[in-house]
Chains A and B, each alone.
Chain A
Amino acid sequence: MLWISILLTILLGFSTLTIISNQFSYLEKWGASFLVGIALQVFGMILFQFLGIKITISSIYIYSFSIIVLEWIYFLLTKNSFKKAFLPYNPFLIVNPKQVNLPWFLLVTLIIYVLWAITEKSLFWPTFEFDAVAGYDLVAKVLAEEGTFKNSLFMSNGISMYNMSLRAVYPPLVSGSFAYAYMSGAELSKIISSLYYISFVALLYALLRRASLTHLASAFGILLVLFIPEMTSHAALSQTNMPQAVYTSTGLLSLYLWLRNTDKNERYLWLSLLLLASNTMARSENILFAFLAGLAVLIVTLIQRTKKQWIHLVIYGTTLLIPFVLWMLFLKINHLKPAALGEGLSLSLAYDANKFNDWWGLLWGYKDYPEGIVMNKNFYALVPHLFFITLLISLVYALVKWVSAKEKDLKPIQNLSFLLYISLGPFILYTVFYYFIKYDWDSIRNVMLFSYKRGLFGIMTLFVCFIMISEPAQWIFSQFNIFMFGKRNN
């Protein structure tokens, strides 16, 4: 039963991606299928709440199956090619089978080994960490049994059970997906965490390839991500931070691919929409990343000012917000609140010198916490260091190239700006957001050292994308390929 459920989820995601475009590659499709499918199913769960339908495995099956049928009817009506739907572009086809890329083989072997070990770990241990036990996995268990988000975890006054804090009212992607596993007869929900992670690695590899990276560079980038210590230790846990990182990074990377060529790469606009809208169902603050993406689409629309782009903007903006708004509406209508001191997550825009010192000190280090969070090698290894070095080199390189060029070419500058927008942009926005949080429910130290630190997983992944897509890294990996193959490709 569990395997049928997972297959249905993948089929739902695959069908949706096929409708969007028949130009996605194998890896893009298989990487994104589970991520898109499970998010659509959890979105269905929210819809069921409004329609008064009990959330059961049957209702989710019927809902998923109906969407799949409708999508394939649409596919037939638009006379799309079955061959392209089922035999999409294979990024490995351009590889000459007589020339086995040995270093790539080594890196991929290590990637597979790490993925296998993380999956083994995830499936071996039951859910044990506090936040999942008194949070996401508990919501999942109760939801699977009672068929509604308004369940025995809330008292009759609408306040959640102690000690769930904000976790009871978190947007439901993670708990909903875990509940789907329980409804399908699983003893543990951990298989879902593994599927998030495996899908993430496949999709990230595929997207890095689309961003002009060679196979070797893409594999190296994936290894840099897999060896981010704090993120990898979370990959086998049942928390929201890893799925948040998965959707944030792949969603914004897709947006980058669209920004690079808005005409040819329209499919990545819709892929980013699906991933970032799903992301707003993983954690409340992910609305920030959706805002960043929406702003980029707005700026492009204002520059292009075509009718088609205005329509895209409206579809993008509204769809991006629907899941989050519906969830907030559901909580409001049912008067569901967290068991927390104060009002839960709210903002304070006032300047507070002490708060600023704490915030800044926790970010970059001060006497009580000399290492700081951002550049802490225990958390993110060398990724932030490499990012800032690469950023500096890229800026100097772009400047020198611009000044020395006889014919000014805006493209490299544009590309660098887009890359900065999807890496440094979310970092600044997310970090500033943590300054403005009203800390009347927990201390700034606790929230920064736990939530913020983990919230940077997605941003660190985007830092890796920046490093690998930047000119210096591209040049280095081009030299490897030219040395081996006599050309840059592969």
Chain B
Amino acid sequence: MAKKNKIISTPEVKPNTNSKSIGFFEFYVRSFVILLFFIVLLWVVVFRNYFDLAEADALSKRMQAGQILSPEESKQLKDVQIFLSSSDYKWFYNYKWVYHNLIVKNLKIQDQLDSLDYDGRQAYKNGHEFNYLKMIRDKTPENAVILMPDQEDLKIPEYAGNNVPQFSLINDKAWAYYFLYPRKLVYDKSDALDSLGGQKNIRKDPDFKKNRASVTHVAIVYGNGYNKLNYKADSLEAYTVLPINKK
């Protein structure tokens, strides 16, 4: 022990107080008592009585919509209502949420999605907007200059109905650039206009004309964008990317 102490520089712990010797067996009995205290503390604060409130909310909405819940679901809903009025919920719910939701539930989701590659996982998070950009990425060379859809191109056409995906993020230049880099992106309206939505257009690009002249591909959304091609396309797809000039 003396040898070990030599390399202890300044262990700044307070000096011993009430020092008395404790035997091996007695130590473990006492240690076990304190261990038990922490187990109970963690059980009450973190592990016990967790309800996924999002699930309960969904059940409640189903019931309000007139759907009949199974006996287990009804019991679950009742338990949740009791829990919500308890002090356990008031004081400790967030600790339970970290463990059960942020950690355990996430691990389960990761386990289920383990076979997905990074593109698949990105699509899981950012959905069709990422899939659309991935399609552009896969169909264009890295040196492509792509004419992207403007805000007005992203309005869902009246004939399309409710089942078409809604886009918004692909109009955020930096967001789209992240997935398409090193390809260059050009937006006809938002890169060129002096004002947007009644405000000064902070995204106006002083080099718009030069960039517009160097466009190599046009991105099509909802069939919008074919009029920007320098030729008549053979087939009209709703979502695609095409060279601006016929090869």
B residues less than 8 Å from A137 (CB atoms) = 178
Among B198-206, B214-222, B223-231, B234-242, the one that faces the other chain is B198-206
Task: Give the nearest-CB partner of A101 in chain B.
Answer: B31
Does A91 lie at the interface of the complex (its beta carbon under 8 Å from any beta carbon of B)?
yes
Residues of A contacting B15 in the complex (Cβ-Cβ under 8 angstroms)? 488
Interchain CA distance A283-B193 in the complex, whole Å: 32
Residues on B with C-beta less than 8 A from A377 are: 91, 93-94
The tally of residues in A whose CB lies under 8 Å from a CB in B reads: 82
Q: Are B17 and A102 in contact (CB under 8 A)?
A: no
Chain A min CB distance to B20 (Å): 4
Is A364 at the interface (CB under 8 A from chain B)?
Answer: no
Type the 1/0 row for B69-106, where 1 means its CB is closer than 8 Å to any CB of A. 00000000000000000000001011101110011001
Q: Is A103 an interface residue (CB 8 A)?
A: yes
Q: Which residues of chain B are within 8 angstroms of A438 by Cβ–Cβ distance? A: none
Closest-CB distance, B134 to chain A (whole angstroms): 12
The answer to whether A106 and B174 have CB atoms under 8 Å apart is: no
Task: Report how far A93 CA is from B99 CA in the complex, Å.
Answer: 32
**Of all chain B residues, which has the CB nearest A142?**
B181
Q: List 17 A-B contacts (CB under 8 A).
A: A84-B7, A94-B8, A102-B31, A110-B42, A124-B121, A128-B125, A142-B181, A164-B174, A209-B13, A232-B102, A377-B91, A381-B95, A485-B22, A487-B17, A488-B17, A488-B18, A489-B13
Write the residues of chain A forming the contact surface with B, with a CB cutoff of 8 angstroms: 22-23, 25, 83-84, 87-91, 93-94, 98-103, 106-107, 110, 113-114, 117-118, 120-121, 124-126, 128, 130, 133-135, 137-138, 141-142, 145, 152-153, 155-157, 159, 161-164, 168, 187-188, 209-212, 214, 226-227, 229, 232-233, 264-265, 339-341, 377-378, 381-382, 478, 480, 482-489
Known contacts A87-B7, A488-B18: does B202 contact A162 (CB below 8 Å)?
Answer: yes
Q: Is the CB of B94 within 8 A of A381?
A: yes
Instruction: Point out the residues of chain A lying under 8 angstroms from B39, CB to CB.
Output: 106
Q: How many Å lie between the Cα of A305 and that of B104 in the bound state?
A: 55
The 10 closest A-B pairs by CB, nearest first: A162-B203, A128-B125, A134-B174, A23-B9, A487-B19, A486-B22, A486-B20, A102-B35, A487-B16, A134-B175
**Interface flag for B46 (CB, 8 Å):** yes
* Distance, CA A209 to CA B13, complexed state (A): 8
Closest to A121 in B: B106
Place the interface of chain B in its size category.
35 or more
Asked if residues A482 and B118 are in contact (CB atoms below 8 Å), the reply is no
Contacts of B16 in A (CB 8 A): 487-489
**B174 and A187 contacting across the interface, CB-CB below 8 Å:** no
Chain A hits for B174, CB < 8 A: 133-135, 138, 153, 161-164, 168
Q: 1/0 contact trace for B27-46 toward A, CB 8 Å?
A: 11011111101110010001
A94 touches B122 (CB 8 A): no
B201 nearest in chain A by CB position: A162
In the complex, what residues of B have CB within 8 A of residue A118's CB?
103
Q: Please tell me if B21 contacts chain A, counting CB pairs below 8 Å.
A: yes
B153 to chain A, nearest CB (A): 16
Q: Is B138 an interface residue (CB 8 A)?
A: no
- How far is B91's CA from A488's CA once the two chains are assembled, in angstroms? 31
Tell me which residues across on chain B come within 8 A of A142, comparing CB atoms: 181
A414 CB, nearest partner CB in chain B, Å: 15
The interface residues of chain B lying within 8 Å CB-to-CB of A382 are: 91, 94-95
Are A88 and B9 touching (Cβ within 8 A)? yes
CB <8 Å contact, A339 and B31: no
Decide if A134 touches B178 in the complex (CB within 8 Å).
yes
Residues of B within 8 A of A91 (CB): 11
Q: Which residues of A contact B12 (CB under 8 A)?
A: 210-212
